[in-house]
């Protein structure tokens, strides 16, 4: 029996079946899927930009300023080991040990002369019976303490040697906050450690207590026990200070260094005479403010002062250079040796830059009038 011809409905179903089969076999046909909206059309033109910054050539490798500075100074930075004999009051009693014991200490220093002259801190070598100096290359020498100044914490050590590496000395008078500050030393017994930061401030006279004779350099370069006596250097590889003190605070720490210009002046005195010379004039001073002036004027019958910011003399030591020079209580000190002063610390530093027995001009204000006086500083008694 002959089969009947497919109806129009059958032909439509057959066509749809073939079409669906084609979709299953050729489902990756992008033009067909795009026509049905199953795939996005490819974007026309270039891809969208995620940056409009100008193109630039890659940075070329160069010398790091810190590396260069350390290479220049590092060979002259030394480790200083000390031995001090201390008395044991319980020695030979109940097995408490010998009556004399040895106490070891360690610090840093740096060579300033090729024949073995070394700067360090006075507290590093104070009371030491033996001093050993070790260079980064391993050479070791027995050192002799030429002298130390407890007021500025500067000391000078000498070793017998020749042609040693030398640390160049810079100029600490020109320092500005924000400059590089690099510390080299032996913190916590770790030899030749380098830390870096910036100069945070200069002339910190109240860094480690009031009445200091040192305008300390403040830095955020990490300094720890053992760094004492080591150099603080600038980006040019010059020593600008001697690391001497730290102040710890939760989560932070501050470091302080003796300006190298002051250290050089003290060291020259030690080399010449075996000790440092500190002038004094014999006055007690107070920072005057308008509020304090009003209180003084309201309560004192002998002292009337202007309501200004200034340096007020509150006491003159009897028989002192200041007394002989005509300075009186209630005077306002305006200038010392040509330097304008605004607080007692500046007066102290200006006096300390003078010389014992040499006339020092002062300008004071008394009863609204300016007077020019001359004072000859005397030697500050030892132990004061």
In terms of C-beta density within 10 A (0-12 exposed, 13-18 middle, 19 or more buried), how is residue 13 classed?
A: exposed
Q: Which of 123, 132, 200, 220 is catalytic?
A: 123
* Structure tokens, 328: 């009186």
Closest CA to 269 of 380, 128, 125: 380
Rounded to the nearest angstrom, the gap between the alpha carbon of residue 351 and the centroid of all alpha carbons in its chain is 25
> Is 228 marked active-site?
yes
Residue among 81, 153, 331, 352 flagged as catalytic: 153
How far, in Å, CA of 54 to CA of 66, rounded? 30
The one catalytic residue among 108, 172, 228, 320: 228
CA distance readout (Å), 141 to 81, 116, 131, 242, 346? 11, 10, 9, 21, 40
How buried is residue 52: exposed, middle or buried, by Cβ count under 10 Å (0-12/13-18/19+)?
exposed
Tell me how far apart the alpha carbons of residues 259 and 239 are, in angstroms, rounded to a whole number.
Answer: 9
DSSP for 114-165, please give it: TTTEEEEEHHHHTT-SEEEEE-TTS-EEEEEEEEEETTTTEEEEEE--SS--
Smallest Cα–Cα separation from 279: which of 123, 151, 153? Answer: 151
d(CA 206, CA 213): 9
For the chain, report the end-to-end CA distance as a whole number of angstroms: 138
Active site annotation includes 174: no
What are the residues whose beta carbons fall under 8 Å from the beta carbon of 91, sequence distance 6 or more?
Answer: 97, 98, 99, 100, 101
Return the structure tokens found at 57: 């050539």
The angle subtended at Cα 191 by Cα 187 and Cα 197, nearest 5°, is: 55
Answer yes or no: 123 catalytic.
Answer: yes
Active site residues: 123, 153, 228
């Amino acid at each position: 029996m002959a089969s009947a011809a497919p109806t129009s409905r059958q032909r439509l179903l057959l066509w749809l079946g073939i079409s669906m089969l084609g979709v299953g076999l050729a489902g990756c046909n992008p033009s067909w899927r795009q026509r049905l909206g199953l795939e996005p059309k490819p974007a026309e033109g270039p891809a969208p930009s995620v940056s409009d910054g100008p193109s630039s050539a890659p940075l070329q490798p160069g010398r790091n300023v810190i590396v260069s500075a350390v290479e220049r100074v590092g060979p002259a930075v030394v480790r200083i080991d000390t031995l001090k004999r201390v008395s044991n009051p319980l020695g030979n009693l109940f097995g408490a040990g010998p009556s004399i014991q040895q106490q070891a200490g360690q610090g840093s220093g740096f060579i300033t002369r090729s024949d073995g002259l070394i700067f360090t801190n006075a507290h590093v070598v104070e009371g030491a019976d033996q001093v050993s100096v070790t260079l980064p290359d391993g050479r070791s020498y027995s050192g002799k303490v030429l002298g130390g100044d407890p007021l500025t914490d500067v000391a000078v050590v000498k070793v017998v040697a020749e042609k040693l590496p030398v640390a160049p000395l810079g100029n600490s008078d020109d320092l500005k906050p924000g400059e590089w500050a690099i510390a080299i030393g032996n913190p916590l017994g770790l030899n030749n450690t380098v830390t870096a930061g910036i100069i945070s401030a200069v002339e910190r006279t109240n860094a480690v207590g009031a009445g200091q004779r040192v305008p300390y350099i403040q830095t955020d370069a990490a300094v720890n026990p053992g760094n004492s006596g080591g150099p603080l250097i600038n980006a040019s590889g010059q020593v600008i200070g001697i690391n001497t003190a730290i102040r710890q605070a939760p989560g932070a720490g501050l470091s302080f260094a003796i300006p190298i210009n002051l250290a050089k002046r003290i060291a020259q005195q030690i080399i010449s005479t075996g000790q440092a010379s500190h002038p004094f004039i014999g006055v007690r001073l107070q920072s005057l403010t308008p509020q304090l002036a009003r209180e003084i004027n309201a309560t004192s019958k002998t002292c009337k002062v202007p309501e200004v910011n200034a340096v007020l003399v509150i006491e003159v030591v009897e028989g002192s250079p200041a007394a002989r020079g005509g300075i009186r209580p209630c005077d306002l000190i305006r200038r010392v040796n040509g330097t304008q002063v605004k607080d007692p610390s500046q007066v102290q530093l200006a006096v300390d830059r003078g010389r014992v027995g040499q006339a020092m001009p002062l300008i004071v204000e008394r009863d609204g009038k300016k007077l020019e006086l001359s004072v000859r500083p005397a030697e500050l008694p030892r132990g004061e």
